[in-house]
Amino acid sequence: MCKKILLVSLVLVSVTAGQCFADATDQLQMARRFCEYKDYQQAAAICRSVIADHPGTDNALGAQSQLTIAYIEMGKDKEAQTSLDKLTTDFFSHSDLPEMLYYIATTYGWRSKYSEEISVYQQIIQRAPSSSYADKAQLDIAGANALSSGRYEWLE
């Protein structure tokens, strides 16, 4: 009887663990959808849950990035910076970090926060100088400088 209970418990744990990982991916996708519909509070709540439940995973990387973007969109500058710092600390050597940073930088740009945008682009260049995102960041820094100074003719 004890062996049957133990076996059933192990099966349930393994099935549940597999389901939890699928759920994290689904949750991250849901958070992105909430951001698309400008429900940043709900997106942030989902992202915090994924980060807490799956630390160090690819899903946590995506959730930390999406959380930073949600904070930027909500105008929560301190929270955005704290989230960005956590992203760069926790995923320092992750190969997808330059891409995540690029999306964060462009979000700052869309919100006309050019100094923050430039700062994130500079992080990309420093962390991954040979990546395609570093090349894009170089160009986008010039654009952000032009926009921040009002020299729009450069962009035409």
Show the tokens assigned to 77: 């500058």
Half-sphere exposure of 93 (CA within 13 A, CB side): 0
pLDDT of residue 148: 86
Query: How many other β-carbons are positioned within 10 Å of the β-carbon of residue 30?
Result: 16
Q: What are the residue ranges spanned by the domains of the chain?
A: 1-76, 95-156
CA distances from 9 to 13, 18, 21, 23, 31 (A): 6, 14, 19, 20, 32
Name the pTM for this structure. Answer: 0.81
pLDDT beneath 70, residues of the chain: 1-22, 151-156
**pLDDT per residue as tens digits for the range 61-77:** 999 999 999 999 999 99
pLDDT of residue 151: 66
> CA-to-CA distance for 150 and 147, rounded, in angstroms?
5
pLDDT of residue 9: 40
Whether the CB-CB separation of 20 and 35 falls below 8 Å is answered with no
